[in-house]
Structure 1
């Protein structure tokens, strides 16, 4: 809301840097905030034209909490990381902060923004929000929440007072006017002579279809291209689009998405560049992992889905968007899940969204017939999963959702699913109960009369299947359903690996602290393997890049000597085909821990003495063993004194093998074995 600053000239913000200069005076310490103990700059950067200034700081705050709570926690101060982004061109200051201390137990995030009021440049808009997620805190969760809320309420008021104090200080020092920022003029011949200008022009030419739309200064798009392909964009939005596309061009391996696709992710994150980039990168990884780019070429719905899935494309809406009709009330969702499985339903939903993302689309959702049987718990859980996948990977694709004939049970379903739907998406929903969709303000405002389907009183004969109950004779058997569930879990969590004779498969985990807990769960699909766990301080190729990161393949150097370059911290375990193995290891030293699987050589056969010796593997007739595996690193404070944390990370369908239980007495270094 607008903050007039009690007479203080906050309008300087629209002229120059008054509030910004006042804000910077809080560092490195601030007497007006006694709990603020000090800060240090972690990093600082400026854009080439000087318009954007980014500063990242580490800030120390005294813990204002009861002495008993401080003693139990063992700290007198906490550390927060704060990132400030000052944009002179847009006249905004964005502040993001999160805690580093106790980050595994408590997650605190705060966002503040200063901007010029859109209607009155004499006012400064100030927005502040924060979130607190207390996962566990020594049994004092409720106490901590009350203390945090009390302090936050006090700090909201205190922040304004501090800014006003330093603004008055600037005035007393004679600073009463700071001119607005303007870019320094650059002559054309100077710009062309600057280093990298030719490279920049080459980069723009490499942008593909949008190359002619990008100006020579790299931050403008051709107005005709915008109007024709992208819609209306502000200069700031143009800049975000080009920056994100340039970043993808330089860092992303693979096909670069079109501008329209990138723009959807920017809009979904309100053009917050870092958040949009993170969301887009996760989506691109998801598409690659699940081969979504070829889904429309490879997916063929089962005949049962084509018969009983009551959905299909049907002409266009009044704005020319493709129209998809889904008669959810007529669909036997429980029967479909039991007949084809959740994964097949998800694939079908993704194929619809792949078709729809070619251009913005409209969905007409008919709920006549919706009742309590549609609220079957596994079905609702599957629906929420599908909504989450679609929200994460197809943002700003749906143009409009028309919900008609919503029955009395609809509010129950809406209460369950609405928290999982983005606010921008919810604003596109139009809900009609009963028959009020037929008159003015109803479907005729969005669909031509000749397009409205006949079952809604229109003139169009709709070819969408009518759905109906799926015969129980078509249900999957319990064994088939269990196998489908296992495959789904494996595809989401587990990694597959082939192990060659003489060429083991290894997974590296970097441990920075002495005590952490490594857990593993794997299934032997083919052949017999020997599982071992090693520790080394040597560098690996390729090595893990960050704590908990996994590098896999054959990682040990073939010249390493056991006992000198690396040590064995778990006794070798022979695992037979078909077995499921789970276990854990409490680490004692920092360094790299290697989980290793190698082909088991029976007594009397020629065994490889060196884990890294691939010579034999080159002459072997292909993979000898195959496995699915999952591993994780747990912080010691989350694990100590309880087996529940370990049990929660193992698979729900694996069983402890006889080999595992018989060899558990040989485990060393505090290892433990569990099953579910």
Structure 2
């Protein structure tokens, strides 16, 4: 497959129209718990006149719109958030628990990622989070995907996880030319291996919430094209693992990939698109070195880190 090294190729790939992108889901304010109407987040926010409102004042005003149980709204224990974020995180927890009581078992770090993914819009974040809970209960009922469930996808040997970048974020590597549509497990098994990889990267990160991905398209052709799979993976990343992607390097990009990119690109939200970097072949190692130490760069790119298949991590 002939590679495209010109600056024009990268520019064409990263440029796309977002006019077809669907707007964020709206929160259904008619959801209820115990037949009680869920208060509008903006009404609750009005109870706090400024970001400097004290905890006691905030809680006193909240009592005006809450039942005895709702008065126990918890303040966030997030240490690194500012006052605005802490206040909105508390409001998000309040709305989420009203719509799904199981939300009380979710930590602040998880809720904060959903809040940031919706630019601190409490109602949108609540709708997004409740949607995630329903998806997890239906698609990942055990809370995890086992290797035995994705045996057909594992056989393609296309996903690897090893090393970290300069910020301590785990580095995953995906070979696009090794992917073929699964005739046995179908789209669901592809989704499962994607979830398996995301969870593995998150666990490997320790205290680091994000991970880095290198998508290698060397040898990619139309036989490897799987638009349904790409859109499914994108949906999982953006809707159910928000604020987990630190950066995506797309390397060895063939010209024929442009046709698929034009289809997928409009579905990529603005925050995710900012994290995507198309890398020219001649600048591959130097670009990776900006974010990843040579000792952690995969050896196939001139680094010193051997590849580790995802099932061995």
What's 1:464 paired with?
309
Matched, 1:455 2:305: no
1:52 aligns with 2:52: no
State the Cα distance separating 1:44 from its structure 2 match: 9.9
Aligned match of 1:630:
none
Question: Is residue 162 of structure 2 the alignment partner of residue 314 of structure 1?
Answer: yes
Please, what TM-score do these two structures have when normalized by structure 1?
0.35
Moved more, 259-268 or 349-358: 349-358
Q: Report whether the alignment pairs 1:409 with 2:243.
A: no
Aligned runs of 1:579-598 on 2, under 5 Å?
none
Measured after TM superposition, the shift of residue 384 of structure 1 is 1.6
Match of 1:147 in 2: none
Q: Deviations 1:441-500 (Å, cap 9, x if unpaired)?
A: x101111111111211212221338xxxxxxxxxxxxxxxxxxxxxxxxxxxxxxxxxxx
Query: Is 1:258 aligned to 2:107, yes or no?
Result: yes
Distance 1:355 1:45 in 2: 35
Higher relative helix content: 2
Q: Are 1:385 and 2:232 matched, yes or no?
A: yes
Q: d(CA) in 2 for partners of 1:44 and 1:294?
A: 31
Aligned length, in residue pairs: 262
Q: CA deviation at 1:368?
A: 1.1
Q: Which has the higher contact order (CA 8 A, sep 6+)?
A: 2
Equivalence for 2:278? 431
Q: TM-score, normalised by structure 2?
A: 0.71
Q: Distance in 1 between matches of 2:218 and 2:230?
A: 18
Q: Secondary structure at the match of 1:430?
A: strand
- 1:500 corresponds in structure 2 to none
Give 1:270-285 correspondences, 5 Å limit: 270-285=119-134
Match of 2:212 in 1: 362
Deviations 1:296-338 (A, max 9, x none): 3x45244443231310211211111111111113x1414xx12
Give deviations 1:601-631, integer Å, cap 9, x for gaps: xxxxxxxxxxxxxxxxxxxxxxxxxxxxxxx
Q: Indicate the SS of the match to 2:172.
A: strand
Structure with greater strand share of residues: 1
Kept after mapping to 2: 8 A contact 1:268/1:276: yes
SS in 2 for 1:461: coil
Relative to 1, partners in 2 of residues 1:196 and 1:308: Cα closer, same or farther, differing over 3 Å? closer
String of CA shifts for 1:255-287, please: whole Å, max 9, x gaps. 532111111111111111111111111111111
- The alignment yields a C-alpha RMSD, in angstroms, of 3.5
What secondary structure does 1:399 align onto? strand
Segments of structure 1 that go 5 or more residues without pairing to the other structure are 1-42, 54-86, 91-181, 208-213, 215-220, 228-232, 466-676
CA contact (8 A) 2:92 2:123 kept: no
CA distance in 2, matches of 1:457, 1:236: 45
Q: Is the 8 A contact 2:210 2:244 kept in 1?
A: yes
Return closer, same or farther for 1:387/1:453 CA change in 2, 3 Å cut-off.
same
- For residues 252-651 of structure 1, what are the structure 2 equivalents within 5 Å? 252-255=100-103, 256-296=105-145, 298-329=146-177, 331-334=178-181, 337-358=182-203, 359-375=209-225, 379-439=226-286, 442-464=287-309
Distance 1:443 1:45 in 2: 43
Cα distance in 1 for residues equivalent to 2:258 and 2:42? 50
The answer to whether the 8 A contact 1:357-1:394 is kept is no
Gap regions ≥5 residues in structure 2:
1-38, 204-208
Larger radius of gyration: 1
Q: Residues 124-163 of structure 1 correspond to what in structure 2 (within 5 A)?
A: none
State how far apart, in whole Å, the 2-side matches of 1:316 and 1:285 are: 32
For residue 47 of structure 1, report the CA deviation from its aligned partner.
Answer: 5.2
Matches within 5 A, 1:114-193: none
Measure the CA separation in 1 of the matches of 2:277 and 2:283: 12
C-alpha distance in 1 between matches for 2:124 and 2:223? 39
